Structure 1
Amino acid sequence: MKGKKKLTKVLIIIISIFVAFFLVRFIICQVTLRNSTNRNEISELQQVKLDNKMQTVLLEGVTKDLPIMITVHGGPGSPIPFNVGCRGIFPELTSKYIMVYWDQYGCAKNYEKLNYDVTIDSYENMLSDLVLEMKKQFPNKKIYLFGMSWGTVLTCKVANRLPNDINGVIAYGQIIRDVAKDKDTYNQLVQCNLTVDERKVLKHVMESDNCDMKSRLEVYALISKYTNGFFYKDKDESNSRFYKIILKTFFSPDYSLKNAYGTIVDGNQNVQTNSNVLEEMFNINLTKELLQLKVPYLILQGKDDIVASTSIAKQVVKNSNNPNLKIKVFEKSGHIPTNNCFEKVISSIIDFKSK
């Protein structure tokens, strides 16, 4: 009898927690939606056709007179930190731009099960269509792109594809070549306390021209585990803002809980497992395309980044002789920006508007 009463109490507590969570979530969603629509002249979801696929984007800006900034997230398949669930999260940006947040096809708000017909070209087509759609809606506005990590592959390609329609690009963690496979990666990892099996994997990846994807991903994991190349782990620095943005997506008026969960799990698995995109990214070389850029293109890098190698980026910019291509390196940050680095990225985006 006592056991039954105890179980009943536990069930009541669990149910109460769930009810409280959904009530709090409902209230926060309504407040966020009301505040955003009151504060901003434009704050809306739109359905747009990108590469013949209907997708959802979020537009948010204080006035309709502002230039356009289209965000292109990384992953592939992880729309953090700029995604459709970001309504109200970045007032410092929406006061300077009409922000266009796009969850790439296959993840979060635009989740669809992918197949191997989906390639980098598919996403390039989608981003190009999004640029042209925004130009159609806002014909007299400047249009900028902001890409992170994998998204920088697309910003580079589309900047070359539509030089007359884009006024500039900012790229954080620029993918160029030898993703997680260059000499900086090897030199750092080989000095770490790797296990025998981990050293075998590292050697296999570094010495093979066409090593298997599983091994490439294992080296990715080693970078995260042993170095500052992915997340910067110094105790004096923090990555809390990145995690807070993830948490806030669970309270977005534009996301279901499934959408929010998909920002960190489903989309990543979907794009990386059910398409050719990840393999293409690992084998890409964008050096020539960066050298050919005809629009202002600012690369931002965490100094310790060895996923998208900062030393490679610096070398390419230095040797480019292209006045459009510039680089800015931030201390004490890896491939994912620390709080301090994130603030500098935001400032760089804001300053870029005036150039």
Structure 2
Amino acid sequence: MIQTTGFLILTLLAAAALAAMLIFGLQVLVACWRKKPQTKQVAHLKRAAQCLAAVCVVNLALVVFTQLTASTPPITDENGKTIKNSIAELKEVELNGRRQWISIRGWDKNKPVLLFLAGGPGGTQMAAVRHELSELEKYFVVVNWDQPGSGKSYGAEKIDKITVQTYMDDGYALTEYLKERFAQEKIYLMGESWGSALGIFLIKAFPQSYHAFIGTGQMIDFSETERLDYQKAMEIAHEKGDEKVIEKLKKNGMPPYYGDNITWKSAVYLNYLSAYMASNPAIDNPGYNTLRDIGASEYGLVDKINYVRGIINTFNNVYQQLYEIDLRTDYNKLEVPVYFFLGRHDVNAPTVLVEEYLQVLQAPEKDIIWFEHSGHSPWINERDRFVEQVISTFLAINPEA
């Protein structure tokens, strides 16, 4: 799913302002250095242009510096010393000819590998997972992947060429890379929101590569989810008398949407539902810490801008490709144990669809674990219990891990 905030829009505006300043500075320089009489006005313009050019050069150097020095913090003990045999890497890898970024973090590089699939499409959660699920790093080598069109991997592929198959091909290539690097026959897989669907796609196509899968904020039927979300937002808006929201929803009409404005139309009800969950007293620790995450050391200045571009542009291109997918009919037989970690108060990804899916799903093991004080993001809302459940669930599959 998507998440848009005023801060993210301001980031885009700041980037546009920087670009405009650079263009203006170049134009002034060209105008000033033409062969014309050296009047005081022209001299002042020259000095202003030189200062502006200097500022632009400094800004460009700052951008390059932040990109080159982006990193994930080392894993340290209580004395601040790096833990022996730990791993903390921010690494660029080539997957099917596309250069993409991953973070790899763990207290012991010999532990089982757990690959986390972020939400979106177009979302990046490297920093969010590091902060919220750091305890998992004691039991697994936790890998976060910026998928094509998101965050640090925004330019891995042209946005209009990214398809579901792109994610499947690259997800499998990354899995094989991790298996080889860490000398493991299989890895564990976890997906959040859009990543929960991608995880199902991967274990269906490549069951031999995965021990088990956990989906949270689980997506089942994309077009039906959008219709249910729209209806829920309309219901809440009527209850609260939010006429502006009602007017916007009516103007956009019932989803699914197609074309160039999917992100903005979907944002009307998705952000409204997110705000509704954030105000629900039954949900612990609601919402994302966007300012913390976008300001994290993993992202240079360009990555921070691409953090926003992925949410807007990649989501817009890819999401409309998902409307025909229904896991209840297309993915009802799997060869890998599957577990759904669901927030009892999730109004973003309707849990009734997950319950229906569980009824028809054939898998070696399957279950729903409910989080009574969570909405769409149990891994944030109840992170301590979430970590405990991940450890107990996965270790039950492979006790020797």
Give TM-score, length-normalised by structure 1.
Answer: 0.77
Matched, 1:352 2:401: no
Select the residue among 86, 91, 98 that pairs with 2:134.
Answer: 91
**Displacement after TM superposition at 1:75 (Å):** 1.3
The structure that is helix-richer by fraction is 2
- Give the corresponding residue for 1:55: 100
Q: Deviations over 1:203-247 (max 9, x none)?
A: x316xx77667478535522432x468743224645467317x51
Q: Count the aligned residue pairs.
A: 320
Q: Deviations over 1:301-325 (max 9, x none)?
A: 2223233211110121134354433
Letter in 2 for 1:165: S
Letter in 2 for 1:351: S
- Give the corresponding residue for 2:30: none
Find the aligned partners of 2:247 and 2:212 in 1 and give their Cα distance: 45
Select the residue among 103, 124, 127 that pairs with 2:171.
Answer: 127
- Give the corresponding residue for 2:375: 334
Stretches of structure 2 lacking an aligned partner (at least 5 in a row)? 1-65, 397-401
Matched, 1:197 2:242: no
Q: 1:344 to 1:232 in 2, by over 3 A?
A: farther
**Displacement after TM superposition at 1:190 (Å):** 3.0
Q: SS at 1:56's partner residue?
A: strand
Matched, 1:175 2:225: no
Letter in 2 for 1:103: D
Q: SS at 1:32's partner residue?
A: coil
Find the aligned partners of 1:47 and 1:211 in 2 and give their Cα distance: 33
Select the residue among 48, 64, 88 that pairs with 2:109.
Answer: 64
Work out whether residues 47 and 54 of structure 1, in 8 Å CA contact, stay in contact via their aligned partners in 2. Answer: yes
Letter in 2 for 1:310: T
Select the residue among 320, 329, 350 that pairs with 1:309.
Answer: 350
Matched, 1:139 2:183: yes
Find the aligned partners of 2:228 and 2:250 in 1 and give their Cα distance: 16
Q: Deviations over 1:224-272 (max 9, x none)?
A: 32x468743224645467317x5155241x3213323533x12212312
Letter in 1 for 2:116: T
**Displacement after TM superposition at 1:183 (Å):** 4.5
Letter in 1 for 2:268: A
Letter in 2 for 1:72: L
Q: SS at 1:262's partner residue?
A: helix
The structure having more radius of gyration, on CA atoms, is 2
**Displacement after TM superposition at 1:100 (Å):** 1.0
Q: Deviations over 1:148-175 (max 9, x none)?
A: 1111121001101111111111111111
- Give the corresponding residue for 1:12: none
Give TM-score, length-normalised by structure 2.
Answer: 0.69
Percent identity over the alignment is 23
Q: 1:78 to 1:228 in 2, by over 3 A?
A: closer
**Displacement after TM superposition at 1:55 (Å):** 1.5
- Give the corresponding residue for 1:324: 365
- Give the corresponding residue for 2:325: 284
Work out whether residues 70 and 144 of structure 1, in 8 Å CA contact, stay in contact via their aligned partners in 2. Answer: yes
After superposing the two structures, state which structure 1 stretch, 303-312 or 142-151, moved more.
303-312
Q: SS at 1:300's partner residue?
A: strand
Find the aligned partners of 1:136 and 1:152 in 2 and give their Cα distance: 24
Find the aligned partners of 1:294 and 1:45 in 2 and give their Cα distance: 32
Letter in 1 for 2:141: I
Work out whether residues 284 and 382 of structure 2, in 8 Å CA contact, stay in contact via their aligned partners in 1. Answer: no
Find the aligned partners of 1:42 and 1:338 in 2 and give their Cα distance: 22
Q: SS at 1:221's partner residue?
A: helix
Work out whether residues 46 and 56 of structure 1, in 8 Å CA contact, stay in contact via their aligned partners in 2. Answer: yes
Work out whether residues 154 and 310 of structure 2, in 8 Å CA contact, stay in contact via their aligned partners in 1. Answer: yes
Write out aligned runs for 1:196-275 (5 A). Answer: 197-198=247-248, 200-201=250-251, 204-205=253-254, 214=261, 218-225=265-272, 227=273, 231-235=277-281, 237-239=283-285, 242-243=288-289, 246-252=291-297, 254-263=298-307, 265-273=308-316, 275=317
Find the aligned partners of 2:140 and 2:377 in 1 and give their Cα distance: 23
Stretches of structure 1 lacking an aligned partner (at least 5 in a row)? 1-24
**Displacement after TM superposition at 1:60 (Å):** 1.4
Q: SS at 1:295's partner residue?
A: coil
Letter in 1 for 2:312: Q
Find the aligned partners of 1:89 and 1:337 in 2 and give their Cα distance: 10
Q: SS at 1:168's partner residue?
A: strand
**Displacement after TM superposition at 1:289 (Å):** 4.1
Work out whether residues 133 and 387 of structure 2, in 8 Å CA contact, stay in contact via their aligned partners in 1. Answer: no
Q: SS at 2:280's partner residue?
A: coil
- Give the corresponding residue for 2:16: none
Find the aligned partners of 1:130 and 1:31 in 2 and give their Cα distance: 19
Q: Deviations over 1:98-121 (max 9, x none)?
A: 111111112212121623221111
- Give the corresponding residue for 1:18: none
Work out whether residues 42 and 64 of structure 1, in 8 Å CA contact, stay in contact via their aligned partners in 2. Answer: yes
Q: SS at 1:76's partner residue?
A: coil
- Give the corresponding residue for 1:11: none
Q: 1:323 to 1:232 in 2, by over 3 A?
A: farther
